[in-house]
């Protein structure tokens, strides 16, 4: 996989957009529940950034593998990256006590975002494949 400037810009853009949306959504949910400051503070923001980095890096590296079918590529990306996210959560427990639902929460959030990325990637893949077929006919 060739990593040109355009690809790096796309990866950084996707990372930044997802991080911004997740952070804004988190803030809105806190405010709706009457919580005016993030109880976990800055560590929570850094942890979110690291978990997202793990997911985006795995997704970008593995979904471009020459493996068929597409679902197998997604599994190759998902399983080790989810395990790495669990390891990161476990290590963050050395810094401060984990919430009782920490592993469940990371599984739900990480899996949800990963599935969303897979759906978007699949739609783009199918669209490009159909578009390429029209030009060949």
- Answer yes or no: are the C-beta atoms of 84 and 39 closer than 8 Å: no
Overall average pLDDT of the 85-110 stretch? 92
Residue 27 maps to a domain: no
- Reported as half-sphere exposure (CB side, CA atoms, 13 A), residue 31 has a value of 6
Average pLDDT score over residue span 120-124: 89
Return d(Cα 104, Cα 86) in angstroms, integer. 10
Asked if residue 21 is part of any domain, the answer here is: no
Domain limits for position 61:
37-136
Higher pLDDT, 7 or 89: 89
The number of domains in the chain is 1
Q: Read off the pTM.
A: 0.79
**Bond before 69 cis per omega within 30 degrees:** yes
70 domain residue, yes or no:
yes
Instruction: Give the span between the Cα atoms of 50 and 113, in whole angstroms.
Output: 14
54 with 88: CB under 8 angstroms? yes
44 within domain boundaries: yes
Identify which has the larger pLDDT, 87 or 131.
Answer: 87
- Residue 25 inside a domain? The answer is no
Domain presence at residue 115: yes
Q: What is the pLDDT of residues 15-47, one digit of tens each?
A: 999 999 998 998 898 899 998 887 777 888 899
């Amino acid at each position: 996989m060739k990593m040109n400037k355009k690809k790096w810009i796309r990866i950084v853009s996707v990372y930044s957009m997802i991080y911004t949306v997740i952070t804004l959504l988190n803030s809105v949910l806190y405010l709706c529940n009457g919580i005016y400051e993030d109880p976990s503070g800055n560590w929570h923001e850094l942890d979110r950034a690291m978990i997202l980095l793990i997911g985006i890096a795995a997704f970008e590296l593995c979904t471009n593998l020459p493996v068929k079918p597409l679902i197998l590529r997604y599994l190759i990306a998902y399983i080790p990256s989810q395990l790495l996210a669990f390891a990161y959560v476990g290590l963050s427990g050395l810094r401060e006590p984990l919430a009782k639902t920490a592993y469940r929460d990371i599984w739900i959030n990480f899996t949800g975002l990963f599935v969303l990325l897979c759906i978007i990637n699949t739609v783009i893949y199918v669209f490009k494949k159909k578009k390429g077929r029209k030009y060949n006919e």
